[in-house]
Structure 1
Amino acid sequence: MNRYNEHVLLVEDDAPIRNFIAFALQSEGFRCTPADTGHAALNLLLSEKVDLMLLDLGLPDLDGMEIIKRVREWSDMPILVVSARDQDKEKAAALDGGADDYLTKPFSATELLARVRVALRHLYKQRGLQTQTSLEVGGLSIDLKKRLVHLDGEELHVTPLEYSLLALFFKNIGKVLTTGYIIREVWGAGYGSDTQALRALMAGLRRKLEENPAKPRYIKTEIGVGYRLVDE
């Protein structure tokens, strides 16, 4: 049994995949409610308390992107997309639309359960930010009130842009942030889509954070999509 025991809504129209995922979740102690259409999923969300949704994008009645849009109008529950669509633009669109993570089929039960746990931990940390001013991952910590960063107990000198980038990651621990989202949050909505500036900023920050910037420990690259601050 896991320590969560949360209610997971599984939205998947492929019966073998749905059964595989449901078995994996239930074996770990999660309560799992299946739905094979988008409308069935939305009706369940209105009638039951759901802690996390696993969502296939290719449903027979509603596109998964539409479901994400509707749910995000009223809920911050983690949404983990499980889809055969493996194009980077599809992943980025789902994440920009409000999904917390994206898992491409086929995948193992181990990977699925790990992503579910990360998404739930991210939710709990997000909800605690109003009272929590100091956050830590491994030996890296940030004080959001004093605007200080420490690495292994030593204060780390970062530029204002580097601090803004790092604070954004700490406010979204474990979540994939697309390059477009990061640029809008750090530079502003009118900045455009200068990914070169983001790559340069990321490279400078990694040189300060990582023993080996080529194999980062803290901020991982999600190729073609964006970046993620690991949840250790």
Structure 2
Amino acid sequence: MTYVPHLLVIEDDPQLRGALVRALRDRGHAVATASTGMQGLEEAVTHRPDLVVLDLGLPDVDGSRVLRMLRAVSGVPVIIATAREDEPEIVMALEEGADDYIVKPFGSGELDARIKAVLRRLGTGTPPEPERPIRVGELVVAPSAREVTLDGEPLELTPREFDLLCYLARRAGQVVSRRDILAAVWQQPLGGADKTVDVHLSWLRRKLGETAQQPRYLHTVRTVGVKLAPPGAAASDDGTGDGGGADAGDTDDADGSGEGGGDA
């Protein structure tokens, strides 16, 4: 069976966006779209396309900034589409991680050729291998199936809780800062509210059957961040442990309301 490349087109002009979708689908691609930079970031991180076509002139966030934010959390190939024939700006976009560029107006045949060339060069036009389950002690996270078990029993997590736990599981044993978590899980690489991370960590702890004061898997490293580690491993690994408590704000009633507040 021939693999169909999955593309994401981030373009605010509805007529151009529609024309690109029709042309690219006719040429054998599967195409998703976004009309704003932030919508495009969420789509790229959530659905992991094979390639992104990114317009630089977006209404909410400049495309160059979207590119920087995307590069902070993903290595997906990016072709920038721009009406600006400003060489320094194109050079800057390429230096910031774009894989190719195309100047408007352009034909669908040229874009298709550039897409195929980038996919061929980077070897990304093939179906991805399912990611193997990650085991941390008796905690098992299956990224592809989006399932979690603890001591052999399934855990019911919200989508955001799963994304947070999966991000930490992929870095098991490493201390991860709240800024890194905000960038990867909430797509806020320029910073956001640490409280958001603390609240979701609190919810995760409850479902893992632990507290910030008596952690098993989620361990706070003061002034640095948090790490996921098997029970008993954290203190011996870094010599800090949790010190019998948590960082300010990182408590089991961090939001004062439990999970009723929704999946922020």
Moved over 2 A (4+): none
What residue in structure 2 maps to residue 106 of structure 1? Answer: 105
Q: Which amino acid aligns with 1:33?
A: A
User: Which residue in the other structure is 1:120 paired with?
Assistant: 119
Q: Does structure 2 conserve the Cα–Cα contact (< 8 Å) formed by 1:77 and 1:123?
A: no
Matches of 2:79 and 2:73, distance apart in 1: 17
1:57-99 C-alpha deviation (Å, 9 max, x unpaired): 0000011111111111232211000110111111101101110
Following TM superposition, by how much is the alpha carbon of 1:49 offset from its aligned partner in structure 2, in angstroms? 2.2
The residue number in structure 2 matching 1:64 is: 63
Spell out, residue by residue over 1:85-140, the C-alpha distance to the aligned partner (whole angstroms, 9 max, x if none): 11111110110111011100001111010000011012118x9xxxxxxxxxxxxx
CA RMSD, 1 decimal? 1.9
CA distance in 1 between counterparts of 2:121 and 2:66 reads 21
Shift of 1:4: 4.6
Paired with 1:74 and 1:40, the residues of 2 have a C-alpha distance of 15
Q: How does 1:12-23 map to 2 (within 5 A)?
A: 12-23=11-22
Cα drift, residue 26 of structure 1? 0.5
Residues 172-204 of structure 1: CA distance to partner in whole angstroms, max 9, x if unpaired?
xxxxxxxxxxxxxxxxxxxxxxxxxxxxxxxxx
CA apart distance, 1:40: 0.6
The aligned counterpart of 2:54 is 55
Answer with 1 or 2: which has the greater Rg.
2
Separation (CA, whole Å) in 2 of partners of 1:105 and 1:27? 20
Equivalent position amino acid for 1:116 in 2: I
Q: Is the 8 A contact 2:7 2:53 kept in 1?
A: yes
Residue in structure 2 matched with residue 73 of structure 1 by the alignment: 72
Cα distance, 1:46 vs. partner? 2.7
Q: State the shift of 1:41 in Å.
A: 0.5
CA distance in 2, matches of 1:83, 1:103: 7
Partner in structure 2 of residue 192 of structure 1: none
SS at match of 2:73: coil
- 2-side partners of 1:108 and 1:115: how far apart? 11
CA contact (8 A) 1:10 1:33 kept: yes
Residue of structure 1 in register with 2:88 after alignment: 89
> What is the correspondence of 1:1-232 to structure 2 with a 5 Å cutoff?
4-124=3-123
**Contact kept in structure 2, 1:11 and 1:36, CA below 8 Å:** yes
Query: Partners in 1 of 2:3 and 2:118 — Cα distance?
Result: 12
Cα distance, 1:14 vs structure 2: 0.6
The 2-side partners of 1:93 and 1:49 are apart by: 24
Give the SS at the match of 1:98: coil
Cα distance in 2 for partners of 1:24, 1:88 equals: 28
Letter of the 2:14 counterpart: A
Once the two structures are aligned, what percentage of the paired residues are identical?
A: 39
- Structure 2 CA distance, aligned partners of 1:96 and 1:18? 26
What residue in structure 2 maps to residue 167 of structure 1? none
In structure 2, stretches of 5+ residues that fail to align are 127-264
Bigger drift between 68-77 and 102-111 goes to 68-77
Measure, in 2, the Cα distance between the counterparts of 1:53 and 1:68.
Answer: 10
Which residue in 2 is equivalent to 1:141?
none
Q: Secondary structure at the residue paired with 2:123?
A: helix
Unaligned segments of structure 1, at least 5 residues: 128-232
